[in-house]
Chain A
Amino acid sequence: DAGVIQSPRHEVTEMGQEVTLRCKPISGHDYLFWYRQTMMRGLELLIYFNNNVPIDDSGMPEDRFSAKMPNASFSTLKIQPSEPRDSAVYFCASSLQGKGGGYTFGSGTRLTVV
């Protein structure tokens, strides 16, 4: 298995632009999570899906953030408009609850908003 695949690995954008981050979970996993990591706040859960349905989006910081999971093999996290304080590393993770519930993380997308 190729693991959780995220793209792009790095993204530099100007303030006000739309940014879309992509994630392909491990095939067969039924949960997908989006996390954000910063030096100040560590790892924070933004939103998670179960069988493509958003379950908890209480961690999404503002309405500028949105996430979708149109099918079991693809999810997006969109920021529109982006702001410098959105600069962080965004991780996607997936999990199969029938296998003990361990999480597998992707390599992350490092977002810089200038």
Chain B
Amino acid sequence: KQEVTQIPAALSVPEGENLVLNCSFTDSAIYNLQWFRQDPGKGLTSLLLIQSSQREQTSGRLNASLDKSSGRSTLYIAASQPGDSATYLCAVRPRPSGGSNYKLTFGKGTLLTVNP
């Protein structure tokens, strides 16, 4: 059974700092990994999607890396801003194998607070 762990559970940083959020998963047979952002009381906003054949994806100040063999992904946020404050979730989708191939397994998230 796939398990996804996100460390740390909470992180507080001053504005302008570069930071890294970590995601680890136990089964490396994944199809892709997706990073989401969730604001309080809101839905999930997709940030980056990394296919299993890719090593990283970038969008603006965000960079996500994937090391499938070691079961790890990181989300790097450059020059953090108070508007980046939210919960960040990673989710993995299993490689098609005849079973439930579309069931995303989510981590519990990292609550990020960026202080002005």
Interface of A toward B, CB cutoff 8 Å = 31, 33, 42-43, 45, 48, 50, 55-56, 58-59, 91, 93, 95, 100-108, 110
The smallest C-beta distance from B4 to any residue of chain A, in angstroms, reads 10
Contact, CB under 8 Å: B100 / A108 = no
* With A104-B46, A107-B43: A56-B100 Cβ-Cβ less than 8 Å: yes
The smallest C-beta distance from A73 to any residue of chain B, in angstroms, reads 19
Residues of A near B89 (CB, < 8 A) are: 43
Number of A-B contacts (CB under 8 A): 56
Interface of B toward A, CB cutoff 8 Å = 31-32, 34, 36, 41-46, 49, 51, 89, 91, 93, 100, 102-104, 106-109
Contact, CB under 8 Å: B103 / A45 = yes
Looking across the interface, which residue of chain B has its beta carbon closest to that of A108?
Answer: B43
The smallest C-beta distance from A35 to any residue of chain B, in angstroms, reads 8
Contact, CB under 8 Å: B103 / A56 = yes
Looking across the interface, which residue of chain B has its beta carbon closest to that of A39?
Answer: B108
Chain B facing A: main interface SS: strand
Contact, CB under 8 Å: A42 / B108 = yes
Write 8 A-B pairs (CB below 8 A) sorted by A numbering. A43-B91, A48-B102, A93-B44, A100-B49, A101-B49, A101-B102, A102-B32, A103-B91
Looking across the interface, which residue of chain B has its beta carbon closest to that of A43?
Answer: B106
Contact, CB under 8 Å: A107 / B103 = no
Looking across the interface, which residue of chain A has its beta carbon closest to that of B54?
Answer: A100
Contact, CB under 8 Å: B46 / A42 = no
* With A58-B100, A100-B51, A105-B36: A91-B106 Cβ-Cβ less than 8 Å: no
The smallest C-beta distance from B95 to any residue of chain A, in angstroms, reads 11
How far, in angstroms, from A95 to B32 measured CA to CA in the complex?
13
Looking across the interface, which residue of chain B has its beta carbon closest to that of A41?
Answer: B108
Residues of B near A95 (CB, < 8 A) are: 102
Residues of A near B42 (CB, < 8 A) are: 107-108
Looking across the interface, which residue of chain A has its beta carbon closest to that of B32?
Answer: A101
